[in-house]
Amino acid sequence: MIKTVEWTDEGVRMIDQRLLPVEEKYVMLRSYDEVAEAIKEMVVRGAPAIGVSAAMGIALGTQQAVGTSVDDLQQDFDYICDVMAATRPTAVNLFWAIERMRAAFGRAKAETQDVEEIKQLLVKEARKIFDEDIASNRALGRFGGELIPDGATVLTHCNAGALATAGDYGTALGVIRGARDAGKRIAVIADETRPFLQGSRLTAWELAKDSIPVTIITDNMAGHIMKQGKVDAIVVGADRIAANGDTANKIGTYMVAVLAREHRIPFYVAAPISTIDLKLSSGDQIPIEERNAREVTHIRNQQLAPDGVEVHNPAFDVTPNELVAAIITDKGVARQPYTETLRKLIAS
């Protein structure tokens, strides 16, 4: 099993995703600000993995707080939560995990005034979020696996696998693993996913490790491959799903969804309930992260564009709900009209 992020006695341990697939290196983060920096710098990335890491970072930082009163601890805790919230804006799992930790602090404070006990309860909550993420991806993998026919070739964009979650199954790749574990023969086409190359570097790496057949294409090949009839289904992850089913995911996902409609290929979104943001009525309200120009102009230290050129680097786009055939969650599969079905699933 790929261990994306782990709680240890020494700190939070992560695989450094910037170095994959060339180097499999683990880093030990010993303070909350190291965890926050790791999220910002994409040592760890992928919506659920960001949420789990932030929860662990909050638990770690609070554990190291020196104040002796509950009020002091609360102050430090609130500050750490704010630092985590400022790391990346689009994936709602980050804010969901912070809310979970805030609620856990509230419950702990109502139970005890012992600072050490409160710290332990926060560690317990962060570990629970980790365990729940693994379990929910297994569940959505089972639901989603049923939608994929035996012998199918599935196209995916970015990395929504073990590396994008607490580990193990992943979301979009969880659906593929769910189908495989149900005895189906599945092949995957992985979009390279410029500019950060999560598809070619991460998805191909983890599928190859899992002996699932995978072929990489560059992003601009997707239309051609679909027109040739080589894609039976598309499954992607999500960073935030609005109440109407509009879905923010890695930049380029929208382009794939439009092509899927043109070629009558089902386009599925796979995400745990923690990715659904009922507070937003539509995808227009989802904040889109703009990242550093260097991600576009360089690959590692190799320059690809002229010095000083203008660059636009939005990290995500929003796919309108009418292009989404189904949203596969850990509580079941939602179909149109999402405004009703997503609410029902969450309440179930």
- Pick 253 or 297: Cβ nearer ligand MRU: 253
- Pick 104 or 345: Cβ nearer ligand MRU: 345
206: phi then psi, degrees, rounded to nearest 5 = -75, -30
Among 11, 38, 48, 100, binds ligand MRU (CB under 6 A): 48
Size of the residue set binding ligand MRU (CB under 6 A): 18
- Pick 238 or 325: Cβ nearer ligand MRU: 238
207 binds ligand MRU, rule: CB under 6 A = no
**Residues assigned a catalytic role:** 239
190 binds ligand MRU, rule: CB under 6 A = no
237 binds ligand MRU, rule: CB under 6 A = yes
Environment class of 141 (CB within 10 Å of its CB; exposed 0-12, middle 13-18, buried 19+): buried
286 binds ligand MRU, rule: CB under 6 A = no
- 273-301 as b/e, with b when 16 or more CB fall inside 10 Å? bbbbbeebeebeebebeebebebbbeeee
Do residues 140 and 174 lie in contact, with contact meaning Cβ atoms separated by under 8 Å?
yes
CB of 119 to ligand MRU, least distance (A): 29
The 3-state DSSP class for residue 89 equals coil
246 binds ligand MRU, rule: CB under 6 A = no
- Contacts with 140 (C-beta within 8 Å, 6 or more apart), sequence order: 171, 174, 175, 178, 270, 271, 272, 328, 329, 330
The span from the CA of 203 to the CA of 139, in Å, is 20
Q: Shortest Cβ contact with ligand MRU: which residue?
A: 237
Interacting span for ligand MRU (CB under 6 A) from 41-49, 102-110, 183-191, 299-307: 41-49
Nearest-10 crossing angle of helices 70-85, 32-40 = 10
CB of 345 to ligand MRU, least distance (A): 18
Question: Pattern 324-343, binding to ligand MRU, x per CB under 6 A?
Answer: --------------------
The span from the CA of 16 to the CA of 26, in Å, is 6
Considering only residues 150-179, where is the footprint of ligand MRU by CB under 6 A? 158, 160, 164-165, 170-171
Interacting span for ligand MRU (CB under 6 A) from 102-110, 234-242, 280-288, 321-329: 234-242
> How many Å is the Cα radius of gyration of the chain?
20
- Pick 121 or 190: Cβ nearer ligand MRU: 190
∠ at Cα 140 (212, 247), nearest 5°? 95
Residues that bind ligand MRU (CB under 6 A): 45-48, 91, 158, 160, 164-165, 170-171, 198, 237-239, 249-250, 315
